[in-house]
Amino acid sequence: MLTVLQTYSAGGWRIGYAIFPDTAFGATVKKTTLAYASECWSAASAPAQEAAAVAFNTSPEMDIYRSRVTRLHRDCTTALYRGLIQCGLAVAPPKGAFYLYPSFHPYAEQLEKMGIHTSQQLSHWLVEECGIAALPGSAFGEDDEGLQGGRYRLRMAASYLFFENEEARHKKGYELIESAMLKNAAASRQLPMLDKAISAIRAAVKKIQAGGSLE
């Protein structure tokens, strides 16, 4: 089981740990994993080790922080999920983190007429024509030669829909975290980047329905 510090929005600064069964089989897996790791992963940097020591601390402060960040990600991802559903896309309810995997296959007929047959092509069209950045499902194991549900599936992340830039994140981040557990926080929270993203997806779907052009 691998756990990384991405839980704490520390993307790129990752430390993981593995827990193996206390059995002969577990010992074999551990030995094999360590042999592989020694050739693929280097030692964790000093800053990452310092961050891990704080992140894995079970202090009341960290417990509060984790609960607030979890709430923020859940509210934002759920709002994006509802927006995707309203656009007629096929997407499973989010179970955690901040990733969604919508499929545009309900619009397969229109997409095929536009010459878009794969998640790679759909991802490229969305960023070029609509300014929407989403990764193709083929990067996560979907078959671009398979069924429509997979061929037109993308991965969208809601983690960057809180602030427009790093300056705003630093200025307003703690205030947003503090407000996470307030009553009716989700209903009253202002997230213009999230609203903008949902509007952009709605516009993209309308463009697809119109055959790729609204002119």
- What is the residue extent of each domain of the chain? 5-55, 60-209
Q: Candidates 3.90.1150.10, 3.40.50.11540, 2.70.98.10, 3.90.79.10; correct CATH number of 60-209?
A: 3.90.1150.10
Q: How far is CA 119 from the centre of its chain?
A: 17
Helix (H, G, I), strand (E, B) or coil at 190: coil
- What is the model's pTM? 0.75
**pLDDT at 98 (0 to 100):** 80
Compute the distance between CA of residue 50 and CA of residue 53 in angstroms, rounded to an integer. 5
- Asked whether the predicted pLDDT for residue 161 surpasses 50, the reply is yes
- Asked whether the predicted pLDDT for residue 85 surpasses 90, the reply is yes
- Asked whether the predicted pLDDT for residue 114 surpasses 70, the reply is yes
- Asked whether the predicted pLDDT for residue 186 surpasses 90, the reply is no
